A = this chain, B = another copy of it.
Amino acid sequence: MVRKLIAAMLCCYSTLSYSGFDVVTLGAKGGIQDGNLTAFMLKSNSDDNYITLDAGSLVNGLRAAVQKEAFNDLTVPPTCDYNEVGYLLNKKIKGYFISHGHLDHIAGLIISSPDDSSKTIYALPSVHQTISQHYFNWKAWPNFTNQGEGYKLNKYVLTPLSTSGWQQVKGTELKVKTFPLSHSGIESSAFLFENSAKEAVIYLGDTGPDSVENSQSLDTIWKQLAPYINARQLRGIFIESSFSNSTPDKALFGHLTPNWIQAELNKLASYTDNPQAIAGLNVVITHIKYSLKQGPDPKFVIQRELNENNPLGINFIFTEQGDRIKL
């Protein structure tokens, strides 16, 4: 009887009457396909406005999403000068969350900046430092921010994230808590968002496994997430699998594989009241690289490796550029 009850509860994880989150994939890959680099739009289902999770691709992703009819629920006001891509970029995205300063996580933002509207770029101070010193510096690109070198065009407000508590996300109903991640010598970040219904979603930027990185960063996050899982309020985790299981630890360079994702999710499960509580949890796999080699698409290899060894019953989600999903 208890087993049946648990099974019924597990089956219901994703079908309870939550508000939820909307996600549009602007860039699905971890490289090397410029124009399809890590970026997701995110909003609470009860909110009209989006933020982005990283911004490796923007306009190219918005074009793909419009072509795939991902925004059929949205109407550009007749008085608006913008086309649909322009309206989305300028009016509906309220801020950018940048996990770390590697180019594949910010290229789209930089490239679209001349025609973008005024916005907030949220990041940890170390990430803002890279953005200021190496991109918006009048050498790589004009300085569209309010900090750094030379004349400041003041379009983007660099707003530092703190790792010590919740911060409100301007223009949306979301609030955010930030966690540092270890990415092979670079500070990366995870962003935990809560909507007005107290539901949560977490996005992890590039990260290696704790044991390879000699870090406790992921473990700290799993402990924070466990209460949300117990309360059935964690709507999804975005986590990277840059490589398939054939990649040895010494060649990870701060990334994860399916085996390492399973190991880390086991730790998460161990912190919940019931280790089976995360069954059915949405886990969006990000940052899979485009391959130049003959043979199967790495996405299918990683998909197989994750689903063939899935004792926790995770709902692994694989999206492509332009897709819209609900969490």
Contact = CB atoms under 8 A, between A and B. Distances in A.
A90 interface: yes
Interface stretch (A44-52, A133-141, A163-171, A193-201): A133-141
B114 A107 contact: no
Interface of A: 31-37, 57-60, 63, 80-83, 85-86, 89-90, 101-104, 107-108, 110-115, 130, 133-135, 137-141, 185-186, 289-294
Contact of A103 (B63, B140, B185): B140
Given A90-B292, A294-B83, A37 B101 contact: no
A112 B34 contact: yes
A25 to B, nearest CB: 14
B133 A83 contact: no
- Number of copies of this kind of chain in the complex: 2
A17 to B, nearest CB: 38
Given A83-B292, A115-B289, 6 more contacts: A34-B107, A81-B293, A90-B292, A104-B111, A134-B139, A134-B140
A139 B108 CA distance: 17
Contacts of A86: 291-293
B130 A135 contact: no
Contact of A32 (B31, B32, B111): B111
A114 B31 contact: yes
A213 to B, nearest CB: 17
Q: Which 9 A-B residue pairs are closest in the complex by CB-CB distance?
A: A35-B35, A86-B292, A35-B60, A32-B112, A34-B108, A34-B111, A134-B134, A134-B140, A33-B59
18 contacts: A32-B112, A32-B113, A32-B115, A33-B60, A34-B59, A35-B60, A59-B290, A59-B292, A60-B60, A82-B294, A83-B292, A83-B293, A89-B292, A102-B140, A102-B141, A103-B141, A115-B292, A134-B135
Nearest to A131: B140
A109 to B, nearest CB: 9
Given A31-B111, A32-B111, A34-B111, A292 B85 contact: yes
B134 A37 contact: no
A138 B133 CA distance: 13
A33 B63 contact: yes
B103 A110 contact: yes
A60 to B, nearest CB: 4
A188 to B, nearest CB: 13
Interface centre among A35, A81, A103, A134 (most CB of B within 10 A): A35
